[in-house]
Amino acid sequence: MASPEQATARAHEHVGDAARPLLDVRGLQAGYGRKRVVFDVDLSLNRGEIVTVLGHNGAGKTTTLKTIFGMLPPFGGEIWYDGEDISRSSCRRNVKRGMSLIPSERFVFGDLSVIDNLRLGAMHERAGDERERRRERVHEIFPILQERTQQMARTMSGGQQRMLSLGLALMSSPRLLMLDEPSLGLAPALVIDIFDRIRKLADEEGLSVLLLEQNVGQALRIADRAYVMRSGRVILEESAAEMRTRENFWDLF
């Protein structure tokens, strides 16, 4: 049995973990080759929070996301995940830590069936019963995927493929889900549906979501906080509620 002092120390440690951001990016600098396109970016994400990063194409949003995930080495700065410095960590290790990324394009395996896409998402999970539990949860959230189990992913509609991409990501049981332009190419009604499901995942699963978007209205509808990037820099951080009160956003972009 732990002593009172040990119990107190453990309680303080637990409170510290809960209060600490799940993701904390400090002074991030990134780019391609010798070209730097992201400059001194600071951003954070708490557990169960949806944070959106807004900005036009070329603002540095995707480069920031790829660097956080480990697809690009940072030029400088620090990336902390759950209290651990992962600035030089690989994508593979970050996935095992609980991170998942859905890119804006080529986000499903088109030549594979729906069920095989989902199986790939759980490839690091050895326990069959746990893989089955995750698949049942995905089917509960996205019933269309259960109906289309044997359908080839490339033959699905754009909205259905987006749902499959989310299901694939959820099969790895992530704690941090990073989404790059999930509204791209979708009809407005489908965008609303997909974003509602993302909000539901954050509320019910405690999932933290980092959302890159140009669809400002829909992103702010489900987000808790927002960053605006321009020319590789964060120029504004506000709560989503504050940003929704703005009459226009053109001055920011």
Residues 235 and 133 in one domain: no
**190, 235: one domain:** yes
Asked whether residue 22 carries a pLDDT value surpassing 90, the answer given is yes
CA distance 23 to 20: 9
- The better pLDDT of the pair 24, 105 is held by 24
Are residues 232 and 60 in contact, defined by beta-carbon separation less than 8 angstroms?
yes
Q: What is the pLDDT of residue 253?
A: 67
Same-domain pairing of 213 and 224: yes
Q: Is residue 4 part of a domain?
A: no
Q: Is 155 contained in some domain?
A: yes
Give the residue, 114 or 186, on which the prediction is more confident.
Answer: 114
Name the pTM for this structure: 0.86
Query: Are 91 and 117 within one domain?
Result: no
pLDDT at 18: 62
Does 73 map to a domain? yes
Task: Out of 149, 173, 197, pick the residue that ends a domain.
Answer: 173
> For residue 59, what pLDDT is reported?
92
DSSP string, 49-88: -EEEEE--TTSSHHHHHHHHHTSS--SEEEEEETTEE-TT
Residue 59 φ then ψ, to 5°: -75, -15
Answer whether residue 193 is part of any domain: yes
Q: How many domains does the chain have?
A: 2
The reply to whether 57 and 155 lie within a common domain is: no
Residue 128 falls within a domain, yes or no? yes
| CB atoms closer than 10 angstroms to residue 113 | 16
Note the pLDDT tens digit of each residue in 220-233: 999 999 999 999 99
Strand spans (E) along the chain: 23-32, 35-45, 50-54, 76-81, 84-85, 99-102, 176-180, 208-213, 225-230, 233-239
pLDDT tens digits for range 51-93: 999 998 899 999 999 999 999 999 999 999 999 999 999 999 9
Domain contains 32:
yes
Q: Which of 128, 146, 173 is the last residue of a domain?
A: 173
Q: Does 118 share its domain with 52? A: no
Whether the predicted pLDDT of 138 surpasses 60 = yes
CB 54 within 8 A of CB 216: yes
Mean pLDDT score of the chain: 88
Query: Residue 142: helix, strand or coil by DSSP?
Result: coil
Residue 20 within a domain: no
pLDDT band at 190 (very low <50, low <70, confident <90, very high): confident
Instruction: State whether 36 and 80 are in the same domain.
Output: yes
pLDDT at 9 (0 to 100):
39
User: Do 34 and 91 fall within a single domain?
Assistant: yes
181, 239: one domain: yes
On the question of pLDDT at 4 being above 80, the answer is no
Is the Cβ–Cβ distance between 176 and 45 less than 8 Å? yes
Kindly state whether residues 185 and 69 are assigned to the same domain.
Answer: yes
pLDDT digits (tens, 9 = 90+) for 39-53: 999 999 999 999 999
pLDDT of residue 106: 75
- The answer to whether residue 140 is domain-embedded is yes
* Residue 3 CB-density burial (10 A; 0-12 exposed, 13-18 middle, 19+ buried): exposed
Out of 116, 149, 173, a domain closes at 173
pLDDT of residue 3: 45
Least confident of 9-13, 20-24, 128-132, 249-253: 9-13
**Residues facing residue 29 across a β-bridge:** 76
Distance CA 135, CA 167 (A): 8
State the sign of the Cα–Cα–Cα–Cα dihedral 179, 15, 221, 78: negative
Do 197 and 230 belong to one domain?
Answer: yes
Structure-token pair, residue 82:
């759950």
Q: Which domain holds residue 198?
A: 26-98+174-253
> Do residues 55 and 165 both lie within one domain?
no
